[in-house]
Every structure is written in C-alpha cells, then in structure tokens.
Amino acid sequence: MLKKGISKEEIIDILEKKLSNDFEYDSGSILGSMCTNAFDFGKEIYYKYLNKNLGDPGLFPGTAELEKELVSEIGALFKGKDIIGSFTTGGSESNLIAVRIAKKLRPDIKNPEIVLPITAHISFDKAADLMNIRLRKARLNKNFQLDLEHFESLINKNTCGVIGIAGTTSLGLVDPIEAIGDLIKDKNIFFHVDAAFGGFVLPFLDDLGYSYPKWDFSVNEVDSITADPHKMGMGIIPSGGIFIRNEKILHRTGFEIPYLAGGNFKHLHIVGTRTGGTVIAFWAILKNLGRNGFIKIVKTCMENTQYLVDKIDEIEGIKTVVNPVMNVVGMTPERGYNLCEIDQKLKNLNWMLGKFDDFNLIRAVIMPHVRRPHITKFIEDLKLVLG
Ligand SMILES: Cc1ncc(COP(=O)(O)O)c(C=O)c1O
C-alpha cells in the first residue's frame, strides 16, 4: 500500500493503461458473453444509490419495498401471482439458493439427488458440491433436445428437486418444462427453472410472433425461476434474480441474522451485504424501457441472430447446430474441419466466442452490443479462418 496517496489524475491514467487490454462490448468482438453494456439510465441511477445495502433492509425500508414491488412485477411478467423472491449476484447464486431450498424442503431424504439436463449450467455442479447433493444428469437426443425418457428414469425416491432450463447456456434452447412438470406432479419434488438468460427474452417473443414452449409460472408445477437482469435485462453487473411461487418457502427455509441494526428478517441469500443500487437501477430500467422498450431490444437481437444464421448457411466448413429459439447461435464444424483450430484462429483475430467441447460447437450470443456490421465482419473473418 502506498504511504502517501497519489492524485486522481494519476490514478485514472494508471487505470487506463492497466485496463487497456480488456475487451469492450462496443467493439463487437465479444460474441460469447451473455452480459452486455448496462442501459445508460440504469448506470446513472446506480451511481446515485450505490450505498444502499439490502443486506440490512430494516435500515433501507424504501429500497426493500422497491425490491418487493419489482419482484412482484417480474413475477407477473412470468405469469405468476403474488410471487416472492429477491435479487442476487447472478444466475449462480440464484441457482444455489434454489438447490438449497429443494434440499431443505425434504429433510426426510438422507441422500438427496437432483435430476437435471446435461446442458445445465455449472452453477448446479457448484451447488451440489457445496451441499453434498448427487446430480443425476439426463442426456439429450440427437436434436439437442432433452431426452425426457432418460430424465424420467433418473427420478427416484431420493429426488428432492428437478431442474429445467429456459435458455440453455450452450444453445439458448428451452427444455420441455410442461412435460417435466407432468413427471413430478404430486410427488413433493421441487421444480426450479433456470431462465437466467431466457427470462428477459422469452416474455417478449410472443409479441414478435416467435413461438417457444411454455416455461414459466403458467406451468403449475414450477416452484421457482432464476432470471438475470445483468444478462438480457440490461441491468448492472452483478444482478440476478430468484422468483418463488410459494411465500411459505421463505418462512420454512430462510436464514435469520438477529444482530442487524435494522432488525431481524428472513432471507434466502448466500451473501449478507448486498447491493441495493443494482436493484433500484433495474427498477428504473424497467420503468424507463417499459414492455415496448424490451420488445424493441429483443426484436433487434432476434433479427441479427437470423442474419448470422443466414450468413453461416452460405459458408462451407461450418453449419448451425439448431434453429435458434432465442439470440444464441451454435456452430459446428463440418467434416474435415476442427473445432479447436477454428476457435483459436477466431481468437487470434480477436473474436471471442464460447466453446463447448462436449457438444463440438462454438456459440455466439447476439446481445444488444452486437450489431450488423460486427456480424458482417465476423463472417468475413470466419470465411478466412475456414480457408
Ligand atoms: C442458463 C444459465 N444459468 C446460470 C448462469 C450463471 O449466471 P452468472 O454467471 O450470472 O452467475 C448462466 C451463465 O451464463 C447461464 O447461462
């Protein structure tokens, strides 16, 4: 640590240099991230309220009330009534909370298990590791859809929870949530849907004429949903959300912190101190954009997604894996071409995509920061790479 502080100007200068090799969303080269530039007005609001601490809501009752209002509004967007929940650091924390609830609700199971698709996010492996839960992973069929029969065969007397995904990390696909619901009907098994990515895409696709499977609280068996403002919600990093159908779950499984200055309260969070600023910012973003604003953002992303798919279809050496449901495009090499080589050569040209070795694919996420000219340039470079 420096004994004597240095000037702000000097510090900014040092930071500019140190951070100069970070990638910028606006360059368009970040094709493999589910995060994007936060909405400008949200940044302003965040800066104004960044000292608010929702870890001690008794001290910030206004912020806590705003969070409740926002949860209820998003719950309604996900076709639920009187939904409870709260905002988290992201999809991983929300999924961790959901897995913990599933375990806590079944103290009668000595060796708890969770059944989930093989495409589920790594956060479930983390949760299982931390909570000593066995994960039973169901395979996919050849169209990259969940093999429901295999999923069903993994459910047994030790199953405390099942997971479905609405917007897989690798391909943005939606699992058959209704069918999973049918499998666990009346079985006292917790059903969590991970819509970390899809949560702020799917509700707006109807208006744009796209079709997709039912995925939200309109499926009676769905108990909770993860949806992240810091992905397609245009929110500030870090902001995730967990939305829960039954408020009794908070009373049955919540933690308490008796010493807080603002008073004791029940909560489900892994963290203690947590940002109120990002929640207030997301409230403001939702109010400012409105439904129409989100529809417009999703429309542009979906049109750009189709543009990329059409262009890939014209190229020899690579093909799209499936028809995208949302703004995620998976590409797989054709015979004679190598995935790692393609990915590395693209990286050398500054294109940052996600690589999924298990499925032999690279994937682009067509976020709001990815624009037509970026895609056109990417296609030119992809042709070069494929020789
Ligand atoms: C489906 C899904 N769930 C959860 C997560 C984890 O989210 P986070 O990185 O915000 O913890 C991701 C991340 O990409 C995801 O795609």
Q: Determine contact, residues 38/200, Cβ cutoff 8 Å.
A: no
Residue 166 buriedness (CB in 10 A; 0-12 / 13-18 / 19+): buried
The pair of three-digit structure tokens given for residue 26, joined into one six-digit string: 């606006």
Of 307, 355, 302, 304, the closest CA to residue 330 belongs to 355
- The domain boundary residue, chosen from 287, 317, 351: 287
Co-location of 94 and 194 in the same domain: yes
Is the pLDDT score of 206 beyond 90?
yes
CA of 233 to the centre of ligand 1 (A): 13
Ligand 1 contact via 200 beta carbon (within 6 Å): no
Region 58-65 average pLDDT: 98
Q: Which residues pair with 62 in a beta bridge?
A: none
Kindly report which listed range (135-139, 334-338, 371-375) carries the lowest average pLDDT score: 334-338
In a domain, 33, yes or no: yes
User: What pLDDT digit, counting tens, does each position of 310-331 carry?
Assistant: 999 999 999 999 999 999 999 9
- The domain boundary residue, chosen from 271, 287, 303: 287
Cα torsion angle, 121, 167, 201, 99, sign: negative
Ligand 1: which residue has its CA nearest to atom 5? 91
When divided into structural domains, the chain yields a total of 2
Residues of the chain by 3-state class (helix, strand, coil), percent to 5: 40, 15, 40
CA–CA separation, 367 and 101 (whole Å): 32
Residue 352's CATH number: 3.90.1150.10
- The domain boundary residue, chosen from 262, 287, 312: 287
In a domain, 3, yes or no: no
Confidence of residue 379 (pLDDT cuts 50, 70, 90): very high
Confidence of residue 228 (pLDDT cuts 50, 70, 90): very high
Residue 63's CATH number: 3.40.640.10
Ligand 1 contact via 169 beta carbon (within 6 Å): yes
Confidence of residue 79 (pLDDT cuts 50, 70, 90): very high
Confidence of residue 191 (pLDDT cuts 50, 70, 90): very high
Is the pLDDT score of 68 beyond 90?
yes
Co-location of 265 and 358 in the same domain: no
Residue 253 buriedness (CB in 10 A; 0-12 / 13-18 / 19+): middle
Is the pLDDT score of 361 beyond 90?
yes
CA–CA separation, 275 and 269 (whole Å): 12
Q: Determine contact, residues 78/217, Cβ cutoff 8 Å.
A: yes
CA of 197 to the centre of ligand 1 (A): 7
Co-location of 199 and 217 in the same domain: yes
Region 210-214 average pLDDT: 95
Output the pLDDT for position 148. 98
Output the pLDDT for position 334. 95
Q: How far is CA 259 from CA 56, 149, 196, in A?
A: 10, 49, 33
Co-location of 26 and 45 in the same domain: no
Co-location of 190 and 63 in the same domain: yes
User: What pLDDT digit, counting tens, does each position of 326-349 carry?
Assistant: 999 999 999 999 999 999 999 999
Ligand 1 contact via 241 beta carbon (within 6 Å): no
In a domain, 86, yes or no: yes
CA–CA separation, 296 and 142 (whole Å): 34
Ligand 1 contact via 170 beta carbon (within 6 Å): no
Is the pLDDT score of 380 beyond 90?
yes
Co-location of 100 and 50 in the same domain: yes
Region 187-209 average pLDDT: 98
In a domain, 91, yes or no: yes
- Give the count of beta carbons closer than 10 Å to the beta carbon of residue 140: 19
Co-location of 210 and 344 in the same domain: no
In a domain, 71, yes or no: yes
Co-location of 176 and 193 in the same domain: yes
Q: What are phi and psi of 271, to 5 degrees?
A: -85, 165
Ligand 1 contact via 196 beta carbon (within 6 Å): yes
Atom of ligand 1 nearest to the CA of 95: 4
CA of 40 to the centre of ligand 1 (A): 23
CA–CA separation, 173 and 335 (whole Å): 25
Atom of ligand 1 nearest to the CA of 34: 14
Q: Determine contact, residues 93/271, Cβ cutoff 8 Å.
A: yes
CA–CA separation, 248 and 10 (whole Å): 53
Co-location of 261 and 133 in the same domain: yes
Region 139-153 average pLDDT: 96
Ligand 1 contact via 91 beta carbon (within 6 Å): yes
Co-location of 326 and 373 in the same domain: yes
Is the pLDDT score of 387 beyond 90?
no
In a domain, 1, yes or no: no
In a domain, 160, yes or no: yes
Ligand 1 contact via 45 beta carbon (within 6 Å): no
Is the pLDDT score of 229 beyond 90?
yes
Q: Rounded mean pLDDT of the chain?
A: 97
Region 187-216 average pLDDT: 97
Range of the domain at 315: 8-39+290-386
